[in-house]
Structure formats: C-alpha cells, structure tokens
Structure 1
Amino acid sequence: MAAIVWLVAGILLAAAEIFTGELTLLTLGLAALGTAGVSATLDTSLVTDALVFAAITLVLFAGVRPVLRRRFGTPPPIATNVDALPGKTALVLQQVAEHGGRVKIDGEVWTARPLNPDDTYEEGSSVYVMKIDGATAVVWKGP
C-alpha cells in the first residue's frame, strides 16, 4: 500500500513541475518514484521509506539537479530589436551634430545625435551606437 502512495506522490510531484520550471518538484517526484520502487520490491517500513526518500532526494539535489539546470535551464536572453543595437557600428549618412543627423545601422537608416553634444561626425565616418533614445540612435566616434 505504501508503494502506491509513493507512486502517486511521485507522479503528482513530477506533473506539478510544469507549473514551476525549477526542477525541484521533478527531483522530489523522481525520489518518490524511486522510493515506490524500493518499497514495492523490499516491502519496507515507513521509516525505511522515509530514509530511502531522503537519500535519493539528497543524491538527486546534489548531483543530478545541477546538471539538469545547466542543460535545460533558461538560456541567457538574446538581445533583439533595439536592445541589440548598442555596441554596433553605424555609418554616418548625414552629418551628426547636436540637433540631428542620419546613420545606417544594419541596413536601416536611423535619426542620430552624438553622445557628447559638442561632437560632430561627418558623412562617411563610422561611429558606435551607444544607446537608443526613443527613435534616435545616440552615437560616439570612440577614443
């Protein structure tokens, strides 16, 4: 009878992992399933089942969970859209000064202004995108 309780608990815990994504409930579910197997095979007492569950949980948390988290964890976010533009090189199409200008970044034309309001960048020069401010690229020539 105890093996069935461990089996049901293991399935429910593993299924509940869908809602968390931390691999904690999956680890506990696997430990419960392992305990169900030991309990069914050896017909152990509740105290022995608890010790088996604790031992399997400890092994899974210490050894298996870190490996699973590295393998299946959330990958680092990849910058897209305007978040991907800072750090890119831009070509000045129209003189960039304090009150405007135009640059080409990855084939797209952007309104631009210099990072330092006193700077002016001439047509044809290369600049770096420092940030995007609304629809304006803030650019810098570099050192």
Structure 2
Amino acid sequence: MEWLGENQWAAWLALSVALGIAELFSLDLVLIMLATGAAAGLLTSLGTDSVIAQVLVASLASVAMLAVVRPSLARRLHGGPELVLGHNRLIGARTVTPVRLSVGEPGQLQISGEQWTAVPYDDTLVIAAGQTVEVLEIRGATAYVHPIATLEP
C-alpha cells in the first residue's frame, strides 16, 4: 500500500490502459473518454500528491470528453454515405444506346455491365441510336431513360 501512495501515477496508468482495452470490446466511445480522464489524472499525479486534485481533474476531463468530444466523434463515425443496393444503384448511370428507343420499340442497353430493356422516360419521346442516355428510373426489369443534352458545334 505504501508503494501505491508513492506511485499514484501507476494506478492512473493501469486504469487508463484497462479502460482503453475495455473500449475495444464495447465500441461505445464511452470507456475511451473515461480512459482519457484517467490519463489526465495520471498527468496531474506527476505534478501533485493530492488525491483529491487528481480525482477532480480526472472527473472533469472525463465529463468534458463525454459532453464535447464524444457526440461529434460518434456522429462522424456512425454517419456516412448511404449504401445503395439492387437496381437503385443504376439510377443516374449513363450509356450510349445502340438502337432507336420509343415506348412502342423498347431496346436492349448495356448499363453498368448488365443488359436491361430500356424505354424512354417520356412516352412521347423517340431516342435515336447513338445518343447518350441517363437512367432515371427502374420499374421491374425495364430501365426508363432520358437523353443527355449535348452541345452541338
């Protein structure tokens, strides 16, 4: 017990490491904030022998980390781009139509490496062969496409 009184920094270090390891299993970003508070207690123990000061600094650092750092860190880690699966990933894809397309004459297009039946999105539109089109919608096994405007020289 006498050794611990002389080496308080070792207790803070052990607590910080234990909380850091426990965070690896929980992944809630709570224990790592407490480990940071314990590290602040360790730094305080190097400057003073007052256990009250060490506990106070460790507590304040932990609360500050939980209140200020954790929310923004959790938002950043848990947020991100949405995963688009299935045929919705084809929306916005562009391809060149090898055949003339109209509502009465659907054609086969190669969209992102897959063969799709395609018709114009606008029922009154006729798309000439060789035009670049964009997929606006997928209904069933049919891609509804619209021509991309091009600048003529």
Q: Provide the C-alpha distance between the structure 2 equivalents of 1:102 and 1:134, rounded to a whole number of angstroms.
A: 14
1:1-143 aligned at under 5 Å gives the runs 1=4, 6-19=12-25, 21=27, 23-39=29-45, 42-45=48-51, 47-57=52-62, 58=64, 62=68, 69=73, 73=77, 76-77=80-81, 82-98=87-103, 100-141=106-147
Gaps of 5+ in 1: none
Q: Provide the C-alpha distance between the structure 1 equivalents of 2:99 and 2:77, rounded to a whole number of angstroms.
A: 45
Q: Provide the C-alpha distance between the structure 2 equivalents of 1:102 and 1:60, rounded to a whole number of angstroms.
A: 56
Q: Provide the C-alpha distance between the structure 2 equivalents of 1:83 and 1:133, rounded to a whole number of angstroms.
A: 10
Across the two proteins, how many residue pairs are aligned to each other?
139
Q: Provide the C-alpha distance between the structure 2 equivalents of 1:40 and 1:142, rounded to a whole number of angstroms.
A: 68
- TM-score scaled by structure 1? 0.63
Write the deviation string for residues 80-107 of structure 1: whole angstroms up to 9, x where unpaired: 7755432222211233333632223345
- Computed over aligned residues only, the root mean square deviation of the Cα atoms, in angstroms, reads 3.9
1:50–1:117: structure 2 CA closer, same or farther, 3 Å change rule?
A: farther
Secondary structure at the aligned position of 2:101 is classed as strand
Write the deviation string for residues 47-72 of structure 1: whole angstroms up to 9, x where unpaired: 32232113433268647995xx49x8
- TM-score scaled by structure 2? 0.61
Is the 2:33–2:65 contact (alpha carbons within 8 Å) kept by the matching residues of 1?
no
Displacement of 1:37: 4.3
Q: Percent identity?
A: 25
Q: Provide the C-alpha distance between the structure 2 equivalents of 1:8 and 1:52, rounded to a whole number of angstroms.
A: 17
Secondary structure at the aligned position of 2:35 is classed as helix
Larger Rg: 2
Q: Provide the C-alpha distance between the structure 1 equivalents of 2:67 and 2:111, rounded to a whole number of angstroms.
A: 47
Q: Provide the C-alpha distance between the structure 1 equivalents of 2:13 and 2:140, rounded to a whole number of angstroms.
A: 56
